[in-house]
Structure 1
Amino acid sequence: MRKARVTCGLLVLAPVLGACGMGGADSADGGGGGAGGERAVVIDEPFGPAAGWALETDDSFVLSKVGCLETLVRREADGSIEPMLATSWEQVEPTAWEFDLRTGVSFQNGEPMDAEAVAGALTHALDVTAPASVFAPETVTGVAPVDEDTVRITTAEPDHLMPERLSTPNTGVLAPGAYGESATDPRATCTGPFTIVEEVPQQSVRLERNAAYWGGEVRLDAAEVRFVTDATLRATQIQTGEAQISRKMPITSVTALTETDGVTVETTELSRTTQLVLNNARAPFDDERVRRAVQAAVDTAEISDAVYPGASRPAVGPFAPDEPFAPTGAEPVTADPEAAAALFEEAGVDPGSLDLTLTVYTEGTGFADLAAVIQEQLRSAGVSVEIETADYASVEPRLLDGDFDMALLSRNHLGDMPDPLGFLTADYSCDGGFNLTQLCDPAVDELITRARGTADRDARYALYAQLAADLQERAVNVFLVHETETVAHSGVTGFTLHPYYTLTADLALADG
């Protein structure tokens, strides 16, 4: 049976958009010289909405990045949490939290954002067919208004991460009229600094300033956000001035961008790891020795240098070595052909008898080159690998159903909230909604359950580190590289590289 879809690690992608979007902001003067001197920008995002703006899907992250959707709690770039639509919160009982709402906030259609509206929005998030794992009935048992400005959230068990859960765009708040039977309508139903005024499905949205924004001055008049899956095109549009901000620059374009006058290039390490997913539920990867043999045959240092030069480092597990939940002293696995051969022999498996398929989605950065390198490395170990390539939307159902041998995956372990509990639950628990490895181990589930019930952050992080070390040691997956993201921008001020927000009230034209 197909598992419920989880968000954040992968975004379902939209088709590539050509050089021109809806017009208006895509003028030859770079988007800042619209009619009547309109202060407008063009932003290229690699991913667009694909599920009718349903907030339980990755569409919520798109809606947040375009400056429309807001949450009760704001996640800062460093992972800390601050007030947003809520001003304070308290765990009033072991299984109950209360959130005090910001007063005087209205949805873009003028309706008040009060406790009844917020409770309705969060209840809708629980009642959908496939709730986001970060805010689901298994954890949250109910949401109700206490008074006009206070919302009470009850949980099945004591939950110490409710503020973190409510920082994810999956828990964004829209006006009651936004939620239709077959689709979600974000037009005029957000609270953010920008409101959607036009949409070209799967290509772009045009937004205008929310003059009544609760957060103060919105410095731009308008913006066009384009969903451009072609990374080279995104880079080109920055160089030509057709866009002012472009995310996820291809490695091959970084040098040219840094040499382009007026273009600023920023690179940051992500909470994201590229991995070779092994299907633990079927042969040959149901045998730990075979998984470890493949792990020993893969040279992560070569992959980092050849495929992601200057944009990654060899992985030490699911978490980067300087993250607080990585095992102390964690090191990358070193390629060891002799150990690989010995492990195959111990398992009674002739590597020459293996004919495996590596599933690769086209939108993965550098995945074509990465797949070719892995194919050659495993060929050197005697394993034959056929590469199967398709867009992510095509391969996702089979990945979720476990109908594959190996797959490449780029996964963000802090994508849903600033704590890896959601990632570990979704990816490695028996009932995890994104458990592509098909792992089901009671010991792993017990560790995750202990972490969920641990209030002390350091103690919880120690449990995460224990689990990360186990995943690496048993080669549940082959963790390849820890990733960085490069963003290019030109002619703007007030831009901050953030996983949830791109178009913000602080963003402005440099000369405006």
Structure 2
Amino acid sequence: MRLPTRHLLSAAVASTLLTGCFSGTSAEGDGDGSRIRLAMMQPPRSGLSPLSDDAFKLSRWSTAETLVKLDEDGDARPALATKWRQSGRTWTFDIRGGVTFHDGTKLDAEAVVRSLTRAATASPKPRILDGVDLRAAEAHGDTVTVTTADEDPLVPQRLSSPQLSILAAKAYRGKTVNPVGAGTGPFELVSVDGTSAATLDRYDAYWGGRAKSPGIDVRFVPDGTARAAALRSGEADIVEAVPVSQAALLDQDLITEVPMPRTNTLYLNTAKGPFKDASLRAAAREAVDAESIVNGVYEGRADVAEGLLGPALPWAAGLRRPVTRTKATRPSGETITIGTFTDRTELPEVAAALQQQLQKAGFKVKLEVREYANIESDALAGAFDAFILSRATVLDSGDPAAYLYSDFASDGSFNISQLADPAVDRALKKAGATGTGTARRKAVVAAEAAVLTTDAAVPMLHERVIQGDAAGVTGAAHDPRERELVTADTYVK
């Protein structure tokens, strides 16, 4: 097969980009295999604080754990809590016995309340608690009560979010939360080298049984070509988020393609600039040719979006109904600035394709592309007319209502579109208050429709993650929710 020129050019510079990412070889341990060399896409944004999106790194490394975990269907299952029960606005959780933190201290009700209280009173709050007034208290013995201002059927699912990980008291001694040596998982985080690397060792006293690997050596490699090269050269054992452009260069037996609840969306600024005008937002929507982006940028390894919720949530398509939108106005040369980031290799290419499509429609388009850590604050502050984001839609609670609230509620913490629409707020609150099951799913789809009616967001495509596992890797997780990667059962032969 003849490869496109851009693939060959990327491969040619890979060795240069890879320099310094990994050094030496995987050291043998005293377990079933070698230490796991892991190439991660995004460096820490907040010093690995669990109150930020860095929490998902701690979860993927199996170092920090939560009271509850989710099964494949998104239902709550025991983790650090063994069971729970609801009484109105209050849920009572029984805390697992025989669990110790990595510093040797005991997991108890006091530790759980400390962690949950720190998260609930943080500013800003963890995304999973958007719109939720949550209070934790010791009950009796090893039980904890969690009470919300309004009756919340999703409390167990919320407590599965890695942003609500339970850490030892030592983690909370400073102004920021420091997870080093403070988790309960099979691997102990022993050191962090800024945004370059992290080291984890097996925690032999883990309550769930001894891990099969002696440890994990993490390198943060934002450049996708370098990550793929690390797998190809044997310098990494597990590589997350292999770029589509690199997939054809790899041994197909080493990559796994996983449909994800992740949507590539064009967020439009509804508060100021040209897209304050709903008819111009409609014009932008009509100008977007998502199919050409899927075929040209993602080489067919993605699905054209019909809504914000994709094929990873198959029930959404069956409940979705046509949406009534504002009629488009022909643009007359309005200048717009689109922001996006380099951490996901395809996004700059998506931005370039959108620039051409929107210019053809009559807009003048400028692009601003940076690393995510350097652009997130500007995006959240509404500094751009539009922003391209690859967004996980069930990242936190396993339920899309939390994502929809975070991104589109008037007081949502991730409201890049600056949307403040009473009808959307009502639909989002109804979805959040509806009990689990079919009724909740219908309310979620109705909330999605309310958002789409505003054209505050133009869903373009649903991604599939490509993960690379070296031939000797056994038991690596392929998790659509991006919560697991290396588990206690993962090792390198």
- CA–CA separation in structure 1 for the residues paired with 2:168 and 2:264: 37
- CA–CA separation in structure 2 for the residues paired with 1:378 and 1:135: 36
Calculate the TM-score normalised by the size of structure 2: 0.90
Conserved? CA contact 2:274–2:280, under 8 Å: yes
Residue equivalent to 1:463: 443
Alignment partner of 1:251 is 2:244: yes
Residue equivalent to 1:118: 112
Deviation of the 1:217 alpha carbon = 2.4
Alignment partner of 1:297 is 2:274: no
Residue equivalent to 1:13: none
Alignment partner of 1:419 is 2:409: no
Residue equivalent to 1:94: 88
Residue equivalent to 1:497: 478
Residue equivalent to 2:71: 76
Amino acid of the structure 2 residue aligned with 1:299:
D
Distance 1:21 1:372, change over 3 A: closer
Residue equivalent to 1:6: none
- CA–CA separation in structure 2 for the residues paired with 1:373 and 1:201: 34
- CA–CA separation in structure 1 for the residues paired with 2:227 and 2:266: 27
Conserved? CA contact 1:274–1:411, under 8 Å: yes
Residue equivalent to 1:488: 468
Alignment partner of 1:344 is 2:329: yes
Residue equivalent to 1:205: 198
**Cα offsets for 1:25-71 (capped at 9, x unmatched):** x41xxx25469997211011112322123221012111111221000
Deviation of the 1:315 alpha carbon = 0.7
Decide which of 219, 227, 233 is 1:226's aligned counterpart: 219
Of 73-82 and 122-131, more deviation after overlay is shown by: 73-82
Distance 1:288 1:403, change over 3 A: same
**Cα-Cα RMSD:** 2.4
Decide which of 91, 101, 110 is 1:107's aligned counterpart: 101
Deviation of the 1:456 alpha carbon = 4.0
- CA–CA separation in structure 2 for the residues paired with 1:108 and 1:293: 55
Gaps of 5+ in 2: 1-15
Deviation of the 1:465 alpha carbon = 0.9
Deviation of the 1:197 alpha carbon = 2.3
| Identical amino acids, percent of aligned pairs | 34
Decide which of 301, 306, 314 is 1:316's aligned counterpart: 306
Residue equivalent to 2:265: 275
- CA–CA separation in structure 1 for the residues paired with 2:196 and 2:322: 40
Conserved? CA contact 1:400–1:436, under 8 Å: yes
Deviation of the 1:392 alpha carbon = 1.9
- CA–CA separation in structure 1 for the residues paired with 2:436 and 2:204: 42
Pairing 1:359-508 to 2, within 5 Å after superposition: 359-490=339-470, 491-498=472-479, 499-508=482-491
- CA–CA separation in structure 2 for the residues paired with 1:449 and 1:403: 27
Alignment partner of 1:168 is 2:161: yes
Conserved? CA contact 1:140–1:153, under 8 Å: no
Deviation of the 1:310 alpha carbon = 2.4
- CA–CA separation in structure 2 for the residues paired with 1:231 and 1:135: 32
Amino acid of the structure 2 residue aligned with 1:414:
V
**Cα offsets for 1:201-222 (capped at 9, x unmatched):** 1111111111101001210112
Residue equivalent to 1:8: none
Amino acid of the structure 1 residue aligned with 2:123:
T
Decide which of 52, 73, 88 is 2:47's aligned counterpart: 52
Secondary structure of the residue aligned to 2:262 is strand
Conserved? CA contact 1:268–1:484, under 8 Å: yes
Deviation of the 1:373 alpha carbon = 1.1
Of 219-228 and 152-161, more deviation after overlay is shown by: 219-228
Of 213-222 and 126-135, more deviation after overlay is shown by: 126-135
Distance 1:448 1:325, change over 3 A: farther
**Cα offsets for 1:243-270 (capped at 9, x unmatched):** 11000001111122135xxx52111111
Deviation of the 1:21 alpha carbon = 5.5
Distance 1:35 1:221, change over 3 A: closer
**Cα offsets for 1:93-146 (capped at 9, x unmatched):** 21100111111111111111011111111111122221113136x523421111
- CA–CA separation in structure 2 for the residues paired with 1:45 and 1:58: 14
Deviation of the 1:455 alpha carbon = 1.2
Distance 1:505 1:320, change over 3 A: same
- CA–CA separation in structure 1 for the residues paired with 2:312 and 2:168: 41
Alignment: residue pair count:
474
- CA–CA separation in structure 2 for the residues paired with 1:76 and 1:231: 30
Deviation of the 1:22 alpha carbon = 7.6
Conserved? CA contact 1:316–1:472, under 8 Å: no
Secondary structure of the residue aligned to 1:344 is coil
- CA–CA separation in structure 1 for the residues paired with 2:447 and 2:140: 42
Gaps of 5+ in 1: 1-15, 334-338, 346-350
Conserved? CA contact 1:22–1:200, under 8 Å: no
Deviation of the 1:493 alpha carbon = 0.8
Distance 1:37 1:173, change over 3 A: closer
Residue equivalent to 1:9: none
Residue equivalent to 2:58: 63
